[in-house]
Amino acid sequence: MTITPIKTGILSFGMSGQVFHSPFLNEHKNFELSAVVERTKKKAHLIYPEIKSYDTIDALLADPEIELVIVNTPNPTHFEFALKALKAKKHVLLEKPFTVNSSDAKKLFEAAKKYNCEVLPYQNRRYDSDFLSVKSVSDSGKLGKLVEFHLRYDRYKYVIGEKVTKETQVPGSGLAYDLGPHLLDAAISIFGTPLKWTKNLGHFRPDTQVDDYSHFHLLYPEGLQIFITTSMLVSEPQPAFILHGTKGSYVKQRADVQEKQLLEGMIPSNPLFGIEAPSKQGILTSITTEGIKKQEPITSKKSSYMHVFDDVYKTLREEKPYPVTAQQVIQQLEILEA
């Protein structure tokens, strides 16, 4: 069977374009990295000699060969550029946060239906090996009835950054919108819609204009409590995932192995890509019926963000449902904007 690659354009060649999208599009047999928007510095051709570099987004969207557009521009522009791409009859892969509010997200999903296109959320952290190990343990039943789930994303950055769209009061700025979508999606993808939730933000760095701490508390059926924390002021990162149940607990450090490897220049086809260091093993602690504590190291399976593009291809070419649903994205945004 002849495979027609999906010709893809990226709206920005900054960190996300260079690290999270281009390497996978370049190596995936079902995609063709066709074009990029570079407003000033033209550097994409140094890595990908055949790529077309456009000066403007409108110019890329006017390219009749482009079938899929990746919107990886600053958060406040997501809705505008995604809608513009849909109106140009392009499919869209949209980075987090999908939009800065749930009403705009609903408008994009409606526009996608109107123009007979797909608008797909890019939630690559569903394919992190650390998260997948947590999901596997949760699904195994080894912990019994789940009682409590803690998710953290810790960083240390005391100094105010230079990125205007992250450090000033524009729509979608602040830590909650930067890291919150990853952890909220993790909870929602496993446990679905919470019964209720609360959100608390903190502003601790001197002269900060945006939140540098956020905490979400989600309540689920049968009393399951989920606590999500992100902070810019953790000098010693805590375990990223702690899951407690009636029969035991699972504790897992964040590995973040793929991002680290990509930043170091490793390509996704490298046999070592996506493999965690042995020191990052999670620990499953259970209590036997005799009351004896038993600990078991859990080695995470290899994973790859290449699976995001596998899913995009299956949706666009084979009409299979995309794993991240519209309902899940809207729910995520309703919590973020609460």
Q: Is the pLDDT of residue 166 over 90?
A: no
Task: Quote the mean pLDDT of the chain.
Answer: 96
Looking at residues 283-312, what average pLDDT do you find? 94
Per DSSP, the three-state class of 146 is strand
What pLDDT does 338 receive?
86
Task: Give the chain's domains with CATH numbers.
Answer: 6-122+307-321 (3.40.50.720), 129-302 (3.30.360.10)
Residue 156: DSSP 8-state: B
What pLDDT does 162 receive?
84
Looking at residues 21-30, what average pLDDT do you find? 97
What pLDDT does 112 receive?
98
What pLDDT does 288 receive?
83
Q: Is the pLDDT of residue 290 over 90?
A: no
C-alpha count within 13 angstroms, C-beta hemisphere, residue 291? 0
Distances (CA, A) of 39 to 7, 65, 76: 21, 21, 18
Please tell me the distance from the alpha carbon of residue 4 to that of residue 144, in angstroms, as a whole number.
Answer: 47
User: What pTM was computed for the model?
Assistant: 0.95
Percentage of the chain lying above the pLDDT 90 cut: 93
Contact (Cβ atoms closer than 8 angstroms) between residue 92 and residue 86: yes
Looking at residues 213-218, what average pLDDT do you find? 98
Q: Which amino acid is at 2?
A: T
pLDDT 10s digits, 75-85:
999 999 999 99
pLDDT 10s digits, 93-144:
999 999 999 999 999 999 999 999 999 999 999 999 999 999 999 999 999 9
Q: Is the pLDDT of residue 1 over 70?
A: no
Looking at residues 241-258, what average pLDDT do you find? 96
**Contacts for 249 with CB less than 8 Å, ≥ 6 apart:** 143, 242, 243, 284, 285
What pLDDT does 324 receive?
98
